Amino acid sequence: MNFLEERIQRDGIVKEGNVLKVDTFLNHQMDIGLFRQMGEEWKRRFAGTPINKILTIEASGIGIACIASEYFDVPVVFAKKSKSVNLDGGMYVAEVESFTHKCKNQVIVSKKFLGPEDRVLIIDDFLANGYALQGMISIVSQAGATVAGIGIAIEKGFQPGGRTIRNLGYHLESLAIVEDMDAETGKIWFQEQNENAG
């Protein structure tokens, strides 16, 4: 197991309905030392890939993306969730379904911050159905920019998001892929990764 899998195993809590709570270190309280390890690991996995911008989405992607950016030395842009967009033409907009809230949100990025010259690393905390990620990819496409890579902390391998994204040919690096989990026993199984994948 790598450092993140070990941490999930130790501090993650499995709840009914395929919920994995990692709020003690990832998305409510944030362990910045752990985020540094994640940034370092993505830097290793995307070595040699030109990247000049990181894109994430509010709220829980932001902290991870900011710390990761210290290893890539690039600015971070976060997509904003918006109910009532002042569509003044200055925004890229994508519709994102929310699994938790059973509704659709618009996410927006100002056109000032993404253009055809950009090679974007997309960072987020979770990948399950992949709706948020698809929205971010759509925004990068609207900008004529390139998705240089996608870095995810925790992928739920038993949900279809990751497979779809890999099928589409994107370079997706999830640091921990949960293969299965059991709310009764609290046990979590991870998909095996290459030894050299940290």
Minimum CB separation of residue 62 from its own copies in Å reads 4
Binding window for its own copies (CB under 8 A); candidates: 75-83, 130-138, 148-156, 172-180:
75-83
66 is an interface residue for its own copies by CB under 8 A: yes
User: Position of tokens 């990620």?
Assistant: 133
Query: What is the rounded distance in angstroms from the CA atom of residue 32 to the CA atom of residue 43?
Result: 16
Applying CB under 8 A, the span of 77-85, 136-144, 145-153, 180-188 interacting with its own copies comes to 77-85
Q: Which residue bears the tokens 């892929």?
A: 177
Binder among 1, 6, 49, 75 for its own copies (CB under 8 A): 75
Residue 11 or 97: which CB sits closer to its own copies?
11
Q: Is 31 in the site for its own copies (CB under 8 A)?
A: yes
Q: Under the criterion CB under 8 A, does residue 59 sit at the interface with its own copies?
A: yes
What is the spatial distance between Cα 63 and Cα 99, in angstroms, rounded to a whole number? 21
The reply to whether 1 sits near its own copies by the rule CB under 8 A is no
Residue number with CB closer to its own copies (112 or 169): 112
Exactly one of 80, 111, 119, 171 binds its own copies (CB under 8 A); which one? 80
β-sheet bridge partners, residue 15: 19
Q: Does 19 bind its own copies (CB under 8 A)?
A: no
Distance CA 90, CA 192 (A): 43
User: Residue-wise over 101-131: b if at least 16 C-beta within 10 A, else e?
Assistant: eeeebbbbbeeebbeeebbbbbbbbbbbbbb
Question: What is the full DSSP assignment across 42-66?
Answer: HHHHTTT----EEEEETTHHHHHHH
Q: Which residues bind its own copies (CB under 8 A)?
A: 23-24, 28-32, 35, 58-59, 62-63, 65-67, 69-70, 75-78, 80, 109-110, 112-113
